[in-house]
Amino acid sequence: MKEFYRRVAARIKRSWWIYAAIILILGIVGFMMPLEEGKQSYSAEAAIQLGSYENNSFNDPKQVVQLVTSKAFYDDYLGENWFEENSQALTIKNVSNHTISFVYTGASKAEAVQSLTTITTAFLTADNTQFNLKRKIIQKNIRALETLETSVDTSVEKQRFLYELETSELVIKPAKLIQDVSLIENARTLTSKELAIVGLLLGVMLSALLLFAPEYMRNYSQVQR
């Protein structure tokens, strides 16, 4: 073992400038590497559980994705120019049978959060409008049926219809936000200084490999003999 370290020390003394040059060169290469152009971006995400009130446009995940990625929806709720200016920053996915995920990417944290909040609020507002229409229809039918005069023979049917309507009013539900708007940690671009440090570390590792590998190969050859 002493002979091993003696040879390593001799190699360092003889070729130290080579190892130092490798470390320095890789550090400079890391520092000089071109950085990705463009500003840092930030993403916000949210999730909505879809409602259930027999309206496929707002209750079926596939149709909801089509709805909230259409220009018409944003023209109605966020203005005519919103879709053209922001559609590329918005990603909507069908997470499960009843859940839709929204992701918005903006130039700042505030923009990402505020824009996604505006989008989810617009959808929930539209959904709530459709839900209330459905509920009002059910309530109207209940009132009409309650005031309907029936004979002894038809009173049973009336009670059955009333029960079905009252039950349907209880089971329908609107969409709701199940994951509040929150920021996502995006991958960050390394700075020139950080790239230089990575280059120096790689240089140290490469130098160590060039320094110790020959000795290990020598010892391995001797053992094989």
Per-residue pLDDT, 196: 75
Q: What is the pLDDT of residue 136?
A: 93
pLDDT at residue 87 above 70?
yes
Average pLDDT over residues 91-118: 87
3-state DSSP of the chain: CHHHHHHHHHHHHHHHHHHHHHHHHHHHHHHHCCCCCCCCCEEEEEEEECCECCCHHHHCHHHHHHHHCCHHHHHHHCCCCHHHHHHHHEEEEECCCCEEEEEEEECCHHHHHHHHHHHHHHHHHHHHHHHHHHHHHHHHHHHHHHHCCCCCCCHHHHHHHHHHHHHHHHHCECCEEEEEEEEECCCCCCCHHHHHHHHHHHHHHHHHHHHHHHHHHHHHHHHHC
Q: CATH says 42-184 is which class?
A: alpha beta
**pLDDT confidence tier of residue 85, bands split at 50, 70 and 90:** confident
Share of the chain above pLDDT 70, in %: 85
Domains in the chain: boundaries? 2-35+190-224, 42-184
Given this model, what pLDDT does residue 81 score? Answer: 82
CA distance 41 to 184: 10
- Per-residue model confidence (pLDDT) at position 50: 95
Give the chain's mean pLDDT: 82
| pLDDT value of residue 39 | 58
Q: What is the pLDDT of residue 132?
A: 95
Digit-coded pLDDT (tens) for 8-67: 677 777 777 777 887 888 778 877 776 555 457 789 999 999 999 999 999 999 899 889
Structure confidence at residue 124 (pLDDT) = 95
- Residues 211-224: tens digit of each pLDDT: 777 766 766 565 55
pLDDT for 120: 93
The pLDDT tens digits of the residues spanning 167-200 come to 888 899 999 999 898 887 655 566 777 777 887 7
pLDDT of residue 190: 65
Residue 225 has pLDDT above 60, yes or no: no
CA distance 74 to 59: 18
